[in-house]
């Protein structure tokens, strides 16, 4: 029992002011306490709520810790199960946001843009911005420095943290965290336009046919000043090709150009007639 207590007290999240007094006031124990306090404070700042420390300790426990406790009945749990849960929560919330933000996008486009946000490289970048690597629990036998900055470990930790927040604060808490630390960091419009810049494609089309450039016209404005929606029509050579509606004129133009390209790909009204 004493051996188990010592091991539990060695975990930074489970140390307390009282345990420090009981164990003595050595520099080493004070350093461990400071790390625990810093980690808890850091997580509470990120999640905007007091933390269930056991759940978040698990979220930050790298699987290398298990190797140091191989065969122990009381070995700690790694963050792999929370990673599985967080992955599902992240997919759901990002999918919902993209679904609402881009009502004109089809399933393929939504899936493609979600993949750009939740891929391993992106998740690791989010984790670095949150400084999760500094707070990971790493096994003593592992190469700590490399693991703390590895793309895989950081991405896993980020997903596990989302899973922990979901268990601790529910879906609303997870959504708040993702909106603040994922959605707010990603330029979704630029992300979409990078792959699906229909305005550029339409210009290339008109140039290849020696046609006048596309003309974009606002044909309707609806809603209050702070929540306007613009409807834009695109035409070429006097022929209407498509319309789009969005809160910003540029996005409405992009949607109008997308509709135009769908039309031109299926039935090209400017296709040169075959010589008789």
Residues acting as catalytic residues: 87, 159
3-class state of residue 36 by DSSP: helix
CA diameter of the chain: 99
Q: Can you tell me the distance from the alpha carbon of 212 to that of 215, in angstroms, rounded to the nearest whole number? A: 9
Residue 268 among known ligand-binding residues: no
What backbone torsions phi and psi does residue 196 show, to the nearest 5 degrees?
-125, 60
3-state secondary structure 63-89: CHHHHHCCCCCCCCCCCHHHHHHHHHH
Cβ-based burial of 176 (10 A; exposed 0-12, middle 13-18, buried ≥19): middle
Residue 91 among known ligand-binding residues: no
End-to-end Cα separation, the chain, in angstroms: 96
Instruction: Compute the Cα dihedral for 250, 251, 254, 255 and give only its sign.
Output: negative
Closest listed residue to residue 241, CA positions, set 259, 253, 217: 259
**Contact of 244 with 252, CB cutoff 8 Å:** yes
Residue 156 among known ligand-binding residues: yes
Residues of the binding site: 83, 156, 159
Residues of the binding site for Mg(2+): 83, 156, 159
């Amino acid at each position: 029992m004493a051996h188990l207590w010592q091991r539990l007290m060695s975990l930074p999240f489970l140390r307390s002011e009282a345990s420090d007094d009981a164990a003595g006031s050595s520099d080493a124990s004070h350093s461990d306490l400071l790390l625990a306090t810093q980690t808890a404070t850091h997580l509470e700042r990120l999640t905007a709520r007091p933390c269930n420390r056991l759940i978040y300790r698990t979220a930050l426990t790298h699987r290398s810790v298990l190797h140091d406790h191989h065969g122990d009945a009381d070995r700690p749990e790694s963050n792999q199960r929370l990673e599985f849960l967080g992955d599902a929560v992240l997919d759901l919330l990002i999918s919902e946001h993209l679904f609402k933000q881009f009502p004109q996008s089809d399933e393929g486009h939504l899936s493609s843009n979600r993949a750009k946000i939740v891929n391993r490289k992106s998740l690791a970048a989010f984790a670095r911005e949150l400084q999760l690597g500094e707070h990971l629990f790493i096994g003593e036998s592992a190469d700590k420095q490399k693991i703390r900055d590895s793309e895989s470990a950081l991405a896993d930790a980020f997903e596990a943290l989302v899973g922990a927040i979901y268990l601790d604060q529910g879906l609303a808490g997870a959504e708040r965290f993702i909106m603040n630390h994922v959605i707010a960091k990603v330029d979704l419009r630029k992300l979409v336009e990078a792959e699906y810049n229909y305005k550029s494609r339409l210009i290339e089309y008109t140039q290849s046919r020696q046609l006048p450039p596309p003309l974009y016209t606002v044909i309707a404005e609806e809603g209050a000043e702070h929540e306007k929606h613009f409807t834009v029509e695109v035409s070429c050579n006097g022929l209407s090709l498509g319309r789009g509606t969005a809160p910003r004129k540029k996005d409405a133009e992009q949607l109008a150009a997308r509709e135009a390209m769908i039309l031109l790909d299926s039935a090209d009204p400017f296709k040169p007639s075959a010589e008789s």
